[in-house]
Chain A
Amino acid sequence: MSQNGHIETGTARVKRGLAEMLKGGVIMDVVTAEHAEIAQEAGAVAVMALERVPADIRAQGGVARMSDPKLIKSIMAAVSIPVMAKCRIGHFAEAQILEALGIDYIDESEVLTPADEEHHVDKWQFKVPFVCGARDLGEALRRISEGAAMIRTKGEAGTGDVVEAVRHMRAVSKGIRRLQSLRQDELPSAAKELGASLELVRETAELGRLPVVNFSAGGLATPADAALMMQLGCDGNFVGSGIFKSGDPLRRAKAIVAATTYYDKPEILAEVSEDLGEPMVGIGVSSLQRQELLASRGI
């Protein structure tokens, strides 16, 4: 029978490949092993292991850092689905620690307090894949050139207000449609404007989408929010505070999973939206001060 060659790990293809497997699914923030089990039971495709959900980080203030490895390990032990964890923007030592823990994906996240205001982590140096936030096409392409294998819209985490997630998803899509309308000889100037390499800009224009998977995040709280983001063209959803800050997390989590798959079937959306109990209370983004906005970190 067959003789097998050497396995090459940590390639761009397998980093992006895991994100391809998550498409059409929901990634849920969890702060305990018990939450992680509920998320898995509800049908989450992955969990994000955190010490505090964004709503609590927002409420409690202070410096938000990588979670305790002990907590992350307990969550990795509790579930069989992929486990992600966050490091601070530019904090490559936190990223090294997360890689050493054997985490499946690192989120270099604006939800934590940035460690570097100028540089992001050089993600090509890692075997573990990274997901990064973006508000528009330029940010997304800059993160991909730094080695991000997956993108998510930033939205405004911990608010339960979907308005910023919508704004950012529309901005990314609009940016891509604009690239597609340009002549070949206009792409170099577009690349300059976006702060991204010409190669990446050409690839995006040709594909008509980002060259990596693009999820939505930041403020989703209901099945309808999940369906809205899917109809706006994202590949899947991150839900943070929206699940475990609600009245009935298991029921809500199941409903959001179903809404992400059946995003264009209003009858199913109506059925799963029924009787979910209290949603998270939420904060209107327009009531936040400029310095309270997380999305403007790490652009």
Chain B
Amino acid sequence: MLALQGDVREHLRLLRECGAEALPVRLPEELEGLDGLVIPGGESTTMDRLMRAFGLLPALELALGRGLACLTTCAGTILAAREIRDGLPDQLHLGLLDIAVRRNAFGRQLQSGEVDLEIPELGPEPVPVALIRAPSIDEVGPEVEVLARYQGLPAAVRQGRHLGLTFHPEITGDPRLHRLFLSRL
């Protein structure tokens, strides 16, 4: 669990509810020996600055090379993207998901809300989620599978063992997406 900043507590609670052994990661050496990494919601620009300043970036790239799988929500998905639109000019994009994202695509906090998303892979019961100053996924590459859409745009995507979400299941507390991620580790 990347724990530089953001809604770390909510993710840790869900991961532990699902039976996973989950630890906070703030230092490069804490990435060693992990099967998966959750990159939470928060501010992507803040996580960007901290990752660059404290040596996490090279360590994370090494771990990804070894096959570390990532579950990313909201700001985490922005960090994971190949291309960021409406971001800072030099904003960090790890490129582990072949997607182009647009920051704050649906507006500011007043446009944030709760919605029930249908995710066929998880069964007929829709997943209640929160969209908070959410990004959109404007483009997906050929290896990216779209699991759910919001307002016609991809909102949940999978590439290999990585799972990228523009919304927050951890705020509403539905564990199914976390379970899906953990089942493939």
A residues near B, CB below 8 A?
1-11, 13-14, 17-18, 20-25, 40-46, 80-82, 99, 102-105, 127-129, 254, 257-258, 260-262, 265, 268
Q: Which chain B residues in 141-167 approach chain A with CB under 8 Å? A: 146, 148-151
Q: Which chain B residues in 76-105 approach chain A with CB under 8 Å? A: 86-88, 103-104
Is B1 in the interface zone, CB < 8 Å from A? Answer: no
Given the interface pairs A6-B115, A18-B132, the reply to whether A25 lies near B43 with Cβ below 8 Å is yes
* Residue on A nearest B53 in the bound complex, by CB: A258
Asked if A261 contacts B5 (CB within 8 A), the reply is yes
User: Which chain B residues lie closer than 8 Å to A45 at the CB level?
Assistant: 5, 42-43, 46
Given the interface pairs A21-B75, A44-B46, A45-B46, the reply to whether A80 lies near B54 with Cβ below 8 Å is no
Asked if B103 contacts A80 (CB within 8 A), the reply is yes
Partner of B109, one of A129, A261, A265: A129
The complex places the Cα of A84 from the Cα of B115 at a distance, in Å, of: 25
How many chain B residues touch A (Cβ–Cβ < 8 Å)? 53
Shortest beta-carbon distance, B180 to chain A, in Å? 15
Shortest beta-carbon distance, A227 to chain B, in Å? 13
Contact digits for B31-69, partner A, Cβ 8 Å, 1 yes 0 no: 000000000011101101110011000000000000000
User: Which chain B residues lie closer than 8 Å to A42 at the CB level?
Assistant: 49
User: Which chain B residues lie closer than 8 Å to A9 at the CB level?
Assistant: 110-113
B residues near A, CB below 8 A?
3-10, 26-27, 41-43, 45-46, 48-50, 53-54, 74-75, 86-88, 103-104, 108-120, 126, 130-133, 146, 148-151, 168, 171-172
Asked if B148 contacts A2 (CB within 8 A), the reply is yes
Asked if B133 contacts A22 (CB within 8 A), the reply is no
By Cβ-Cβ distance, the 10 closest A-B pairs, closest first, are A2-B118, A43-B49, A9-B113, A104-B109, A24-B5, A7-B113, A5-B116, A20-B7, A45-B43, A7-B115
User: Which chain A residues lie closer than 8 Å to B172 at the CB level?
Assistant: 13
The complex places the Cα of A20 from the Cα of B5 at a distance, in Å, of: 10
Asked if A25 contacts B42 (CB within 8 A), the reply is yes
Asked if B149 contacts A1 (CB within 8 A), the reply is yes
The complex places the Cα of A81 from the Cα of B104 at a distance, in Å, of: 9
Given the interface pairs A258-B54, A261-B5, the reply to whether A14 lies near B104 with Cβ below 8 Å is no
